Amino acid sequence: MESPLNGYSASDIQVLEGLEAVRKRPSMYIGSTSPKGLHHLVFEIVDNSIDEAVGGFCNHIQAIIHTDNSVSVCDNGRGIPVDIHPQMGIPALEVIMTTLHSGGKFGGSGYNISGGLHGVGLSVVNALSLSMEITVKRDGYVYRQRYQTGQPIGKVEQCGMTDETGTEIHFLPDPDIFEITVFEKEIIEQRLRELSFLNKGLRITLLDEREEDAKIKDFHYDNGLKDFVTYINKKKEVINEIPIYFESQKDDVIVNVVMQYNNGYNESLYSYANNIRTQEGGTHEIGFKNGLTRVINDFARRNNFLKESDANLSGEDIREGIVAIISVLVKDPQFEGQTKTKLGNSFIRTIVESSVFESVEDYLNENPVIAKKILDKAISARRAREAARKARELTRRKSALESTSLPGKLADCSSKEAHLCELYIVEGDSAGGSAKQGRDRNYQAILPLRGKILNVQKARLDRVLASEEIKALITAIGTGIDEDFDIKKARYHKLFIMTDADVDGSHIRILLLTFFYRYMRQLIEEGYVYIAQPPLYGLKRGNEINYFHKEEDMNQFLSESNKKWTLQRYKGLGEMDAEQLWDTTMDPDKRTILQVNIDDAIRADEIFSDLMGENVQARKDFIQANAVYVTNLDI
C-alpha cells in the first residue's frame, strides 16, 4: 500500500495531517489553550509514566520545571521501544510521538490502563511543543530523538551505553498555541502529590529550577490512600483513627477504597478512575454510596441501633463527616459528562457496591466500638435533618397562612426597606430591653434571645433548631432555611449578633454563627452578618465616660491623662443602660462592628463540633482562651 511520493510515504503524510489537525484545533485535544490546557501537557506526559508504574515497571518519576518554562519528566520504567515498527517501517518511538492515539497499541499488560481525560497521547504534547526531546534508555543503550512543532528533526540516534532503563521527555510548549506558557508550580505539585497518594510506594519528585534555592519536593507514600485520607483529615478530630481500607479485584477491575470519619458535617468523596479525578462521579461512586448505605442499615438493624418501626438511615445521614476516596482501575474506561469526568461503565457499580458491602461489614463486626460511634453519628445526623425539616415546614406553614405573624418578642423597625434595616440579636431579656429603648426604631429591630436555652453545651444543633428562640429568629429574618432559603426575602440586610463578653456569650455567638453557616449560609456569603462589639471598659469622671474595647488602649489613655477616673468593667450587656448601649454599640456613627466572613463561620462550625464532640482538650482550650471572662463556671 505504501508508495513513495516525493520522498514521503503515505503513512508519513497521514502523520503530518494528524499533528497539523492538533495544532489547528488544540482545544479538541486538550480542552483549551488556557493555563489549564498548558498544564494538561505535563499531566499527559506524567500519566504515561504513571501507566508504567501501574504496570509495576517503574517506581520513580522526576519532574523538573526549567528556567525557560520547559518541563522534563523522567521515569525509570522499561523505556519506550525503539525497534522498527513492522507496518510503519520507523522506530516505535517515532510512531508513538507522531501518531494520534497510538499509545495503547503497543501495550504490554499494564499499559492498557490508560487515562481517558488525558490519554490523548504523547503525540498531542509533541504537536503543541516548540521543541521536544526524548531520551530512552533500554537494551543497554541510550537513544535520543528531537522534534520541533511535532516534526522529527533527525532520526532516533544511539548515543552511548547504559545499564539503566527509562524514558525522559523534555518539552517546551509552543507560545503560538498557548495563551500563557508559564507553569504554576502549585498546580503541578498538587497533581503529583495526588498521583503519589494514588500509587502507593511510587516516588514522585518535583524541582522548580525557576526558584532561587530550589529544593526537590519528594512525594512518596508507603500507605497510599490511607496516607491521603489522613492528609485530608489532618486538622480534624477523627472517629476512626485507623482508616477503613480495602482493596479488591474482580474481572480485571481493581477497586481501592479508604474512608475515615471526622466529627464535622461535610461529606468529602474523592473518586478516581485510572488515576483521573472523576469530578462528576459515576458508577464507581454510586456503587460506593449504595454499598455503604446498605451495609450500615443492615448492621444497624442486626444490632438494634434501629428499631423495627424506624425508617432506614439515609445515605446523606450515613455520610455526614465522611472522607472517602474511591479509586478504580479499569481496562476500558468510559468517560462521560460535561467535562468527561464521569465514569460510565455500568458493570463497575455492582463490583464496587458488593466489595464495599463485604469489606465494611467485616470491619464493623470486628470493630464494635467504632461501629457504634459511626452509627451514633448517623443517627444524630438524621435527628438534625428531621429537626431542620420540621423547622422548615413550620416556617413554610407560617408564611403560607399568616404571613405577617412575626414573633412576639421581636421589636420590629418601622421601615420596610430591607436594605436599610438592621436586626440586633441580643443575648438576654434585660439587655434586649435596654437595646429596645436605646435604638433608632426607624430602621433598627431588636430580637432578644434567652441565652440559657441556647447554651451550646447542652443543646445539639437539632435541638437548637427546635427551640422557640431559633424559630423566632428564623421568622424574624424571613428568608426561610436550608432548601427553602431565599435571600431576596431577607427582612434586614444587616444582622448583628450582640452577646455578653463571657464564656456563655462566646458559646451563643458560636452557636448562632454555626446555625447561619449550616442553614442560611448565603447570609454570611453576602456579608449580612456582623458581630456587635460592645466596649469592655469605661473610664468615668462626673458625666464624662470614655469607652474602650482593649485594655491596652485604656492604659494608653490613662498614661496620657493626669486626671482621676473611675473604672467600669462591662462583663454583660445588662450593665449598660439604654443610652450607653446606643452610644457605644448601636449608633452607626460611633459603633465598632465586625463583618463575619465565611472563614469565621467555618471556624465557628469547627469550634462548635469540638465543643459538642468528644474532644475534651478542645473544650478545655476554648475555656482557657476565654478564661479572662470566666468567674465561676462549671463545665
17 vs 28: CA distance, rounded Å: 15
Q: Minimum distance between the CB of residue 104 and ligand 0RA, rounded to whole angstroms?
A: 9
**Is residue 168 a contact residue for ligand 0RA (CB under 6 A)?**
no
* Residue 464 interacting with ligand 0RA (CB under 6 A): no
Is 288 within 8 Å of 303 (Cβ atoms)?
no
Q: Which one among 126, 145, 167, 479 touches ligand 0RA, defined by CB under 6 A?
A: 167
Residue 75 contacts ligand 0RA per CB under 6 A: yes
- Cβ distance to ligand 0RA smaller for residue 75 or 237: 75
Q: Between residues 111 and 221, which has the closer beta carbon with respect to ligand 0RA?
A: 111
In 225-275 the beta strands, taken as DSSP E runs, fall at 244-250, 253-261, 268-273
What is the nearest approach in angstroms of ligand 0RA to the Cβ of residue 51?
Answer: 7
566: exposed, middle or buried (C-beta count within 10 Å: 0-12, 13-18, 19+)?
A: exposed
- Provide the pairing of β-strand 529-532 with 593-595: antiparallel
* Contact indicator for 487, 523 with CB cutoff of 8 Å: yes
Extract the C-alpha cell encoding 261: 470519619
Round to whole Å and give the CA distance between 237 and 67: 42
Helix (H, G, I), strand (E, B) or coil at 249: strand
| Min dist. Cβ of residue 178 to ligand 0RA (A) | 22
Closer residue to ligand 0RA, CB minimum distance, 81 or 150: 81
- Among 81, 287, 451, 535, which residue sits at the site for ligand 0RA (rule: CB under 6 A)? 81
Any idea which residues carry the catalytic annotation?
427, 500, 502, 504
**Which single residue brings its beta carbon nearest to ligand 0RA?**
48
Per CB under 6 A, the list member of 18, 37, 77, 121 interacting with ligand 0RA is 77
Per CB under 6 A, 527 contacts ligand 0RA:
no
> Among residues 275 and 434, whose Cβ is nearest to ligand 0RA?
275
- Single residue of 15, 18, 30, 48 touching ligand 0RA by CB under 6 A: 48
Member of 43, 111, 424, 547 binding ligand 0RA (CB under 6 A): 111
**Considering only 103-111, 333-341, 418-426, 460-468, which stretch makes contact with ligand 0RA by CB under 6 A?**
103-111
- Among the listed ranges 33-41, 73-81, 513-521, 543-551, the one in contact with ligand 0RA (CB under 6 A) is 73-81
Q: Which is nearer to ligand 0RA, 81 or 535 (CB)?
A: 81
The neighbour count for residue 360, using CB atoms within 10 Å, is: 24
Q: Does 106 bind ligand 0RA (CB under 6 A)?
A: yes
172 CB-near residues (< 8 Å, 6+ apart): 68, 69, 70, 129, 130, 131, 132
Q: Please tell me whether residue 496 adopts helix, strand or coil conformation.
A: strand
Q: Give the angle subtended at the CA of 36 by the CAs of 30 and 38, to the nearest 5°.
A: 65
Give min distance, CB of 511 to ligand 0RA, in A.
Answer: 55
Among positions 108, 160, 175, 201, the unique one binding ligand 0RA when judged by CB under 6 A: 108
CA 309 to CA 317: how far, in whole Å? 18
Q: Which of 49, 114, 135, 278 binds ligand 0RA (CB under 6 A)?
A: 49
Do the beta carbons of residue 22 and residue 99 sit within 8 Å?
A: no
Contact 225, 258 (CB under 8 A): yes
Q: Which residue among 11, 15, 37, 52 contacts ligand 0RA (CB under 6 A)?
A: 52
Please choose, from the candidates 24, 53, 478, the residue with its C-alpha nearest in 3D space to the C-alpha of residue 224: 53
* Three-state SS sequence of 118-158: CCCCHHHHHHCEEEEEEEEEECCEEEEEEEECCEECCCCEE
Residue count at the site for ligand 0RA (CB under 6 A)? 12
E strand or H helix at 470: helix 468-477
Residue 359: other Cβ atoms inside 10 A = 19
Please identify, using beta-carbon distances, which residue of 138 and 494 lies nearer to ligand 0RA.
138
The nearer residue to ligand 0RA, 80 or 611, going by C-beta atoms, is 80
What is the smallest separation between the CB atom of 2 and ligand 0RA, expressed in angstroms?
23
Provide the minimum distance between the beta carbon of 203 and ligand 0RA in the complex, in angstroms, as a whole number.
Answer: 15
Using rule CB under 6 A, residue 80 touches ligand 0RA: yes
**CA 72 to each of CA 8, 61, 175: distance values in angstroms, whole numbers, following the listed order:** 31, 10, 17
The span from the CA of 406 to the CA of 418, in Å, is 15
Closer residue to ligand 0RA (CB): 58 or 323: 58
Q: CB neighbours of 553 closer than 8 A, spacing ≥ 6? A: none
Rounded to the nearest 10 degrees, the angle between the axes of helix 368-401 and helix 347-366 is 120
Closer of 118 and 494 to ligand 0RA (Cβ): 118
Which positions from 375 through 434 interact with ligand 0RA, judged by CB under 6 A? none
47 binds ligand 0RA (CB under 6 A): no
Taking the C-alpha atoms of residue 174 and residue 177, their distance in angstroms, rounded to an integer, is: 5
Task: Give which of 131, 126, 122, 127 is closest to 172, Cα–Cα.
Answer: 131
Q: Which stretch binds ligand 0RA (CB under 6 A): 75-83, 245-253, 523-531, 598-606?
A: 75-83
Question: Please, are residues 422 and 446 in contact by the beta-carbon 8 Å criterion?
Answer: no
Which residue, 80 or 374, has its beta carbon nearer to ligand 0RA?
80
The residue written with cell numbers 515498527 in the block is 85
Minimum distance of ligand 0RA from residue 115's CB (angstroms): 13
From the centroid of its chain, how far is CA 358?
A: 29
Hey, what's the cell of 203? 516516588
Q: Is the dihedral of CA 408, 414, 416, 417 positive or negative?
A: negative
Q: Which of 18, 41, 3 is nearest to 151 (CA)?
A: 18
Contact pattern for ligand 0RA over residues 172 through 201, marking x by CB under 6 A: ------------------------------
Out of 78, 494, 509, 518, the residue judged to bind ligand 0RA by CB under 6 A: 78
Provide, rounded to whole angstroms, the least separation between the CB of residue 128 and ligand 0RA. 17
Quote the least distance from Cβ 197 to ligand 0RA, whole Å: 20
Binding residues (CB under 6 A) for ligand 0RA: these are 48-49, 52, 75, 77-78, 80-81, 106, 108, 111, 167
